[in-house]
Structure 1
Amino acid sequence: MASKTAAVEVDAGGRAVRVSSPDRVIFPASELGGDVTKLEVVEYYVAVADGIVRALRDRPVSLERWPKGVLPGMKLTARDATHGRGPQGDAFYQKRLMRGMPEWAKSVRVHFPSGRRADQLCPDHVAAVAWAAQMGAITFHPWPVRSIDVDRPDELRIDLDPHGTTSFVDAVRVGGAVKELLDEVGIVGFPKTSGKNGVHVYIRIEPKWTFTDVRHAAIALGRELERRTDGVTTAWWKEERGDNIFVDVNQNCRDRTIASAYSLRPKEGGPVSTPVTWDELADLDDPNEFTLRTVPARLESVGDAHYAIDDVHHSLEPLLDWWRRDLDNGLTDMPYPPEYPKMPGEPKRVQPSRNRSDTSGNIV
């Protein structure tokens, strides 16, 4: 039997983080590069400290853990650790604090749509990120709130997800249309690659509205984008999306999260969800150029494209005006995710093919 590799210590912003099994392969070799070890994953997060901490600071964070590595055939279970049953499967979402959390790491209590409550990691230092990576966390999923008020989001998230035959290039095109809409109402958006095939746009907002308000604003923006741009849909039901870029407005619901800026994604080569400028996005055709091995040098040479994201917090009123206008014109709310209880104003939550009436609330 081969002997286990001795643990090593990594300096994470002045704090020592112990890394066990440092030679464990997390991302096997691919055409994007050689094997990526557990130690390299931890060192990556230390190398992008400024960017990852900016993305996670003082936010409750759910962890996507792949403790055995992102190996062929492994699957991410839909179950998570919110029910006290512990991890299930090869990879899972960790929504409760892990055992052995260092005393210097911070946490915050949140509650879920089910009514359950949990304490979650709330990073304020890169050492907390490095420790989570040592525990098998590949991707960090922050809530759009700060620990000071976990019920008032300070961020609206636009998730552009290719569906059907559409691709990353189509998401880039629609991202440009998002910028035009935001410019029209005086809102600054910050784009990034999803680390897969999509595009995300983040908007800092004043922390004065509820999750429901923010979701309504996202629906209004998505519908306006759908009106003005070819190849866009807000249809919640997959059977209605067709070959379009899907605007996932439900990513703004409570406990629905998106991979943070500078998070690794569980795909071969260790791709990274990477902040870009609008000009860079317009010229980008391959998100795989951003990986664990290329992003640290990029951050050092050109800086963080989200550096100024916290400089201005916008009002939601221009988007909520669109929401109220749409209600006046006969549109309704849209279905919530399946784990939600029936929500006020929500149409019947049933697939259109199983229901004779039109309950989607989408534009027709």
Structure 2
Amino acid sequence: MTFQVPIIDISAFVGEGGAEDRAAVARAIDAACSTVGFMQIVGHGVPPGVLDEFAAALDGFFGLELEVKKRYRVPPPINRGYSPPKSESLSLSLGVEQASRMNDFFEAFNIGVAVSDHPGLALSAVEYAENVWPAELPEFRDPVRAYFAEAGRVARTLAGAFAQALELPAGYFEPFIDHSQDVLRMNNYALPPGTVDLDGELTGMGEHTDYGILTVLWADQVAGLQVLGADGIWHDVAPADGALLVNLGDLMARWTNERWLSTLHRVKPPVVDGTIRRRRSAAYFCDGNADALIETLPSCIGEGSKYEPVTVAEHLRVKLAGSRYLQPNSNATREAARVLAAQQPQ
């Protein structure tokens, strides 16, 4: 069976789609989430101009000198600001040790939902930290915030479609994401000449599953993203024209008792003529309310739940301690075993 990430038009949920159209989309989502854990969505309604201005904003920030960007590093446990190349190891979020811990050569900049976005709630200043913005680029904030809003809208649209796909009441997930601690991570995969040895074993971003409920990914149509298929082989994936990539996180796998998949993926560097070809991406993580309790949906328990209940905050804290603070996660044995068994691309 050929590996394929299905393309799904979600316009029936974005606009005024009829019941039959929405039911067809829900069935397609269920099939994708049950077999691949990834999908490409079109008909999402994000204006091209918003995407163009957002991409230009990324170019502006990542084009700054490294020492300037490092001014916007934020110490742990705050998940905001700048991460320089080779400062993180995503595989440690699964407890998997690589030959070198510091081999994820991407750089990133994070923003997220802040305490000030929900003035009526008593939220943690750690999970809902205020954002930092580069003073050198006053034009950076508005296009980034505009895309953040659009990606959040898409994530909530998908949450509504997910409820129908799982035969849950309409709006089922809304109480779990009405103050979701969402994060937008903007990534840049390129390094100046001489900073790494191009030996074929470089890792742009190590093997990992995403941590939360779902991820909405904008990415260049450049090789690099690889998804682990059911065949145990890493498969190359690039977005189709106009598509956003969507994948599920660990919390959705927990909710559905693995009826739906939180699929392992990684980024390998596209090396052309001895040079790393630049690749940009931006992952919007819809992670859920920090205080939400995630436990197996009644319709998915079957012969018993594979997971104990956990709050969103507890789950994310352990995951981030692995990737950003280099403390191996000992609670991800199911996913780690899949990484270790994975074959190299054929």
TM over 0.5: no
Q: Normalising TM by the smaller chain, what interval? A: under 0.3
Q: Which has the higher Rg, Structure 1 or Structure 2?
A: 1
Q: TM-score, normalised by structure 1?
A: 0.26
Which is bigger in relative contact order (C-alpha 8 A, separation at least 6)?
2
Q: TM-score, normalised by structure 2?
A: 0.26
